[in-house]
Amino acid sequence: MVEEARDLIEERAALEEEADMLHNFRQILVSGFSAQKVSVTGALKTVHLQLVFLPEKHDCYLTWSPSRKREPRINLYDIEQIIQVKKEGNAMVAPRLIEKVSHRRGFIIVCKSHHRGRIILQVGSKRERKVLVTGFTRLLEELNRVVPNLDDAGALRKRLPRRQSVIQFFDPERTPVETAAPKQEDSSNGGSSEQDPVEPGNPANVPPPPSPKLSKRHSMISHFYKTRFDEPEPKTPTKPSFLRRSSVTT
């Protein structure tokens, strides 16, 4: 009994510690944090990273400043792996890029997109790195978690789309239906682009009659382009022409 109670206490303490760490992870990303980013040449550059969370647009990414790029970003759904920098044996990165980074405070963000590649960061303390690495690892577990559910179309999916999983990770109270892509709205009046359904028999369903001028013009054009292979037109009786008596010659 004592051992079971001890195990329960340790398990509860571990869950509370993980919950606190995830809370701190979200707070760090939302509030922003400073880190040293490794450039292409291997130099360390101090930048400020911050989370941009736009659930209505399905956008959730990290951006940083200063940067030479116009819109620097790391899409969280594009992250594939988080690696802690080791003292030796960092096979994922060239040695010239990792030699200036501390193995206690550095970590690598590996993205799926080829043009994003790998981003090497060095934070201020070992504890801060632990919080960030643990949070990103937990996020990746949520992205790859297999739980059968129904999507908006009613189809069975093994897991949520990665974008929706990221939104739900940072906003757990939001349901999968709320994280679905919003309908495209008209920019002029803000209304829906789809027209309201009309009941059968409503005049809105009936196409407007053609203009009299257009119908007359169409009939003239069709009559002009009739060929001899068309059906002959019905003969109409013509009135007999009367000649004046004075014009008749004998």
Give per-residue pLDDT as tens, 190-249: 444 444 444 444 443 334 444 555 555 555 555 555 554 455 555 555 555 555 555 445
In a domain, 235, yes or no: no
In a domain, 36, yes or no: yes
Indicate if the alpha-carbon torsion angle 131, 132, 133, 134 is positive or negative: positive
In a domain, 243, yes or no: no
In a domain, 64, yes or no: yes
Could you read off the pLDDT of 142-185 as tens digits, one per residue?
888 866 666 666 666 666 788 888 998 988 777 555 545 444 44
Question: Which domain CATH number covers 35?
Answer: 2.30.29.30
What's the domain range around 28? Answer: 11-143
Among 16-25, 116-125, 146-155, 241-250, the minimum mean pLDDT is found in 241-250
- The number of distinct structural domains making up the chain is 1
Higher pLDDT, residue 74 or 147: 74
In a domain, 66, yes or no: yes
In a domain, 202, yes or no: no
Could you read off the pLDDT of 187-207 as tens digits, one per residue?
444 444 444 444 444 443 334
Among 38-47, 94-103, 134-143, 155-164, the minimum mean pLDDT is found in 155-164
In a domain, 20, yes or no: yes
In a domain, 246, yes or no: no
Higher pLDDT, residue 36 or 113: 36
- Over range 96-105, report the average pLDDT: 91
